[in-house]
Structure 1
Amino acid sequence: MTDITVRALGDEDWQVYRDVRLAALAESPDAFAAKAAHEQAFEEELWRKRIARSRRLVAEQDDKVVGVVSVGHKGSQDERVSELFGLWVMPELRGKGVAWRLVEAGVDQARSDSYDFVLYWVGTDNGRAVAFASSFGFRPTDTRRPMKNPEGDRSDGNGDDEMAMVYPLGDDPGATPSAMA
């Protein structure tokens, strides 16, 4: 396999982010709360706002984007916590270390941005994702929430839950943000 590189996108890379985001939504429609058809209609201004809102990291192979992850603070949570979200890798490269490289870069980014914890929401019925996050060092918590439906609502009552998994960035590997305790 050719080397995989991971880089952070800048504001000028909004089209790169748009293209990989739409590819992820089209290829894995059940993995995301959003739908490709909805986001395809977004104007440039909205894509520019989205790329500025969080750090967007892409994995590249031979100058082709093959994966993406986002990392950043979500407004309602503990100021010490950064969230990892929107992880996606092209199907033919899954299981080959690309997701690991993206998560590693996201954790490094959160650390350099002076966060104390990285939070990663994983579907409770997604054994592969739970195992992957656990192997990286994320620990499950008792915190659960209903998964969003395609409209972004969490109240559809379909019974699917996500659990918060936490990765401490400090010296105490047993530390947990107060909101997760």
Structure 2
Amino acid sequence: MHDTEIRQLNADDVDAFRAIRLEALRLEPAAYASKPEDWASLPDEEWRERLQVPVFVAFSSGEPVGIMGLLRQQPSKMKHRSTLVMVYLRASERGKGLARRLLDAVVDFAARNGISQIELTVNSRNDRAIRFYERSDFRRIGLIPAGMIHEGQEIDEILMARRVK
């Protein structure tokens, strides 16, 4: 087993953030609304700005191998809700419990910061991710038909939510 740690990134972690985010966009293009080129040319200041939301990264032997972010709703009547974003785990690290540890860090952050509901959308064709979320107490609450268009194909997105205790 690798020496792994999970931590919330700060402004000094721009290089690790950039590396894992661009890897995710490049290797799993059907999973994200953004394309690699949407992020690749961003200046460091923009990368730092995007770290204003909590971003958690899994490191294996000091190298970033997974990421999850939490985007909180801003209107006062919706601040109890957040959206799980940028979810990715390097293929070589899957099946080792690391995704669960990343999600636990996100849920712990949510609980400590007054967030009582986490929502997400997932590609309806990504059975492995859907099963992971269902095992992690997310439930299906809707479907967004043609939520994304990837390589000319319409892809439905499943909307899921989990209450935070």
Report the TM-score, using the length of structure 1 for normalisation.
Answer: 0.81
Structure 2 CA distance, aligned partners of 1:145 and 1:107? Answer: 28
Counterpart of 2:164?
169
Q: Deviations over 1:48-90 (max 9, x none)?
A: 11111x1110001111111111012144793211111111111
Equivalent pair of 1:72/1:110 in contact (CA under 8 Å): no
What one-letter code is carried by the residue in structure 2 that aligns with 1:64? E
User: What SS does structure 1 have at the residue aligned with 2:114?
Assistant: coil
- Unaligned runs of 5+ residues in structure 1 are 151-155, 171-181
What are the within-5 Å matches in structure 2 for residues 150-161 of structure 1? 158-161=153-156
> Which residue number corresponds to residue 73 of structure 1?
72
> Paired residue for 1:115?
115
CA contact (8 A) 2:67 2:86 kept: yes
Map residues 90-129 of structure 1 onto 2, 5 A cutoff. 90-129=90-129
Q: Percent of aligned positions with the same letter in both sequences? A: 28
Offset from partner CA, 1:120-157 (integer Å, 9 cap, x none): 2112222111111000111111253643447xxxxx99
1:44 counterpart letter in structure 2: D
Counterpart in 2 of 1:16?
A: 16
Q: Which protein has the bigger strand share? A: 2
- Deviation (angstroms), 1:5: 1.4
- Runs (4+) of structure 1 exceeding 6 A deviation are none
CA RMSD for the aligned pairs? Answer: 2.2
1:41 maps to which residue? 41
Aligned residue-pair number? 164
> In structure 2, what residue type is equivalent to 1:70?
G
- Take 1:75 and 1:148, find their aligned partners in 2: how far apart are those partners? 24
Give the aligned residue type for 2:57: V
Spell out the pairing of 1:130-149 with structure 2 (5 A cutoff).
130-144=130-144, 146-149=146-149
